[in-house]
Amino acid sequence: MKPVDPFPRLLHAFFYEWMVQQRNASAHTVRSYRDTWRLFLRFVAQRRRRPIAQLALGDLTASEVKTFLQYTEQERGDTIGTRNCRLSAASLASLLTASRRLSSNAPRFCTCP
């Protein structure tokens, strides 16, 4: 039997348990982070040539984040401020994953410039 990837559960916990319940983030902040994750997952899925539902935690590497941030700046025309907000969204989810120690292969997004 194939092991269950923890990524969907972790992302759900990030948004509903950590951002909403623990941090009491505003609806605007939650939507902003949600939109970043949508863009990022679409980007990675397209690069990996598979549906988003088939992405695993191991697919979401610091290298993918760096490439995504370059894409958002160069192709989408995002400003540095928007880029930093997108990096924050990815970094916080990575920190939550690492703090829960649910996965030894938690992506290290915080290493991105």
**Would the pLDDT of 3 be above 70?**
yes
Q: How much is the pLDDT for 48?
A: 95
Condensed to tens digits (0 to 9), the pLDDT of residues 49-78 reads 999 999 888 888 888 888 988 999 899 888
**Would the pLDDT of 91 be above 80?**
no
Question: Helix 27-48 vs helix 80-100: angle between axes, to the nearest 10 degrees?
Answer: 90
Proportion of the chain above pLDDT 90, given as a percent: 16
Q: Are 85 and 72 in contact (CB under 8 A)?
A: no
Q: 25-33: long-range contacts (C-beta < 8 A, 24 or more apart)? A: 32/85, 32/89, 33/89, 33/92
For 15-111, CATH gives 1.10.150
Q: Where are the domains of the chain?
A: 15-111
Condensed to tens digits (0 to 9), the pLDDT of residues 18-37 reads 888 888 989 998 898 889 88
The pTM is what? Answer: 0.77
